[in-house]
Structure 1
């Protein structure tokens, strides 16, 4: 990640600033209306970022990295290498004036901070020396590249290998045949159009949209249905989503397990009490009586916390 800058960058900058000021005074009649040029030291910003997080050892260790990027450094570097190889926008080049452009580390860091921390587009300018327009473009290009590169691996239903792994983990946790947990959460729609406020208003008097998700213990969300307003409940959302369309049409994954000497060929999911009495749902026992039922209810509720954990990570 070593960068080499040109000694002539200063001359290019002076010439570029003069051109910009000249254009402003000639085309608009006054230099006051010209776009003011800010000399950002991109190279120094990259070096600061590199020494802070990517040298060995870095100034900020892995706990600070995870806090700032919401992921480990090896995962960040894996994503960065894949995106840089896929999308030429993230390959560092010189601009028309000869200045060395932003590095992929700067662009991807800006995009991730906006996604993970919710900062504004111009928030990283003072640290990474990247303007608002470039930050927004980096975010859009980053999202498109991630979807194109990783969608077949992450944004999909479980395949046969995944089913085997999920069943093995479920059996180890005491629930053979368990494939995950399903639930809904209310999500504040910050940028809801004014015309739709009435439909999406919730009990907190703010627009709310419902997310239905299917998750497992490792925070893998392999089903997400985000569309319906707060006026719906979990059953209404279930009726409108396509999570069990394959089950209705008989295209279920191959699942074979035995419980109490009975063989089963359909996996099941943990759900809360509002969900219907379907064979594919295993709900807790309300007001359990006896040690056996109390133990089952506690184990089921403990394992169903997987989906609550995933929702907490998304909200954070």
Structure 2
């Protein structure tokens, strides 16, 4: 078995011992196929290890070029490669932050409210309320998921992503159900960072609003919902709606929404339609399937 190493060509270029074994092919530099079986005898393992330690020292002609050396043992060449380092992408996140602000959050934004409501699936006022709640949160012990949204310089002195960028990426992941890197081109956030945004955003929202909005409705809440939907939509007894096109029935099966009805502990919430009395209200389902 053998191993395949990738080393900077410049380290070979100035060493006359190895220059006869170098041939140029296109943009890269590789060993000729007929010489690969001589690699182990001509290029010792000691030199290869030294070259790998000095990969960062690329100089002169051939900087950026690589020499792929196949080391053969017992006459068999290996196809495995040494993993390359992660590719750096120069994202202009500062320019993206300005564009995002001007598009949706400026005093006279590029896109009016109807576009914001459609693309964020909520009003601008609600979104900014969530952002403000995260940004001004204060406590004797601040959880890490709130600290994540602080705007501060990174290790290189460059300003971090804004809280608007992070919250926008989290909201759009949830509303569209897409891959994390879909909005990289617009918001300029990498895939791993976007995943962290979503995770920390959900924990912040739960911390801030669970007690008020994720509790069980009281009798007063139910009466208010009945009255609202009856006046707004002409649907008496309606508690809410469920969009099953994005959150399908498989997800709904894991929801605790109907647990109290199943176990018989739901609060009584009767209503009447056309002279007929019903025990409990209902939810409308959109896009559901059997």
Scaled by the length of structure 2, what TM-score is found?
0.57
1:71 and 2:122 are equivalent in the alignment:
yes
1:90 match: secondary structure: coil
1:14-25 counterparts in 2 under 5 A? none
Q: Could you tell me how far 1:68 is from its partner in structure 2?
A: 1.8
1:52 and 2:103 are equivalent in the alignment:
yes
Q: Structure 1 pair 91/307, CA: closer, same or farther in 2 (3 Å)?
A: same
Q: Which residue does the alignment assign to 1:89?
A: 148
Which of 242, 257, 263 is residue 224 of structure 1 equivalent to? 257
Q: Which residue does the alignment assign to 2:55?
A: 30
* Separation in structure 2 between the aligned mates of residue 183 and residue 40 of structure 1, nearest angstrom: 38
1:252 match: secondary structure: coil
Q: Could you tell me how far 1:116 is from its partner in structure 2?
A: 0.8
* Separation in structure 2 between the aligned mates of residue 188 and residue 170 of structure 1, nearest angstrom: 22
1:106-125 counterparts in 2 under 5 A? 106-125=165-184
Q: Could you tell me how far 1:134 is from its partner in structure 2?
A: 0.8
1:307 match: secondary structure: strand
* Separation in structure 2 between the aligned mates of residue 45 and residue 246 of structure 1, nearest angstrom: 51
1:161 and 2:220 are equivalent in the alignment:
yes
Q: Could you tell me how far 1:95 is from its partner in structure 2?
A: 0.8
Q: Contact conserved, 1:110 with 1:139, CA < 8 A, in 2?
A: yes
1:121 match: secondary structure: coil
Q: Structure 1 pair 171/49, CA: closer, same or farther in 2 (3 Å)?
A: closer
Q: Could you tell me how far 1:179 is from its partner in structure 2?
A: 6.0
1:145 and 2:177 are equivalent in the alignment:
no
Q: Structure 1 pair 224/41, CA: closer, same or farther in 2 (3 Å)?
A: same
Q: Contact conserved, 2:238 with 2:284, CA < 8 A, in 1?
A: no
Q: Structure 1 pair 26/51, CA: closer, same or farther in 2 (3 Å)?
A: farther
Q: Which residue does the alignment assign to 1:242?
A: 260
* Separation in structure 1 between the aligned mates of residue 88 and residue 229 of structure 2, nearest angstrom: 59
* Separation in structure 1 between the aligned mates of residue 235 and residue 180 of structure 2, nearest angstrom: 47
Q: Structure 1 pair 76/28, CA: closer, same or farther in 2 (3 Å)?
A: farther
Q: Could you tell me how far 1:153 is from its partner in structure 2?
A: 2.2
1:194-205 counterparts in 2 under 5 A? none
1:109 match: secondary structure: helix
* Separation in structure 1 between the aligned mates of residue 98 and residue 243 of structure 2, nearest angstrom: 44
Q: Structure 1 pair 61/171, CA: closer, same or farther in 2 (3 Å)?
A: closer
Q: Deviations 1:101-133 (Å, cap 9, x if unpaired)?
A: 000000011111111112321222222221111
Q: Which residue does the alignment assign to 2:250?
A: 209
Higher relative contact order (CA 8 A, sep 6+): 2
Scaled by the length of structure 1, what TM-score is found?
0.53
Please tell me the root mean square deviation across aligned C-alpha atoms, in Å.
Answer: 4.0
Q: Could you tell me how far 1:154 is from its partner in structure 2?
A: 2.1
Q: Which residue does the alignment assign to 2:5?
A: none
Q: Contact conserved, 2:93 with 2:161, CA < 8 A, in 1?
A: yes
Structure 1 window deviating more from structure 2 (31-40 vs 56-65): it is 31-40
Q: Structure 1 pair 112/186, CA: closer, same or farther in 2 (3 Å)?
A: closer
Q: Which residue does the alignment assign to 1:252?
A: 267
The structure with more radius of gyration: 2
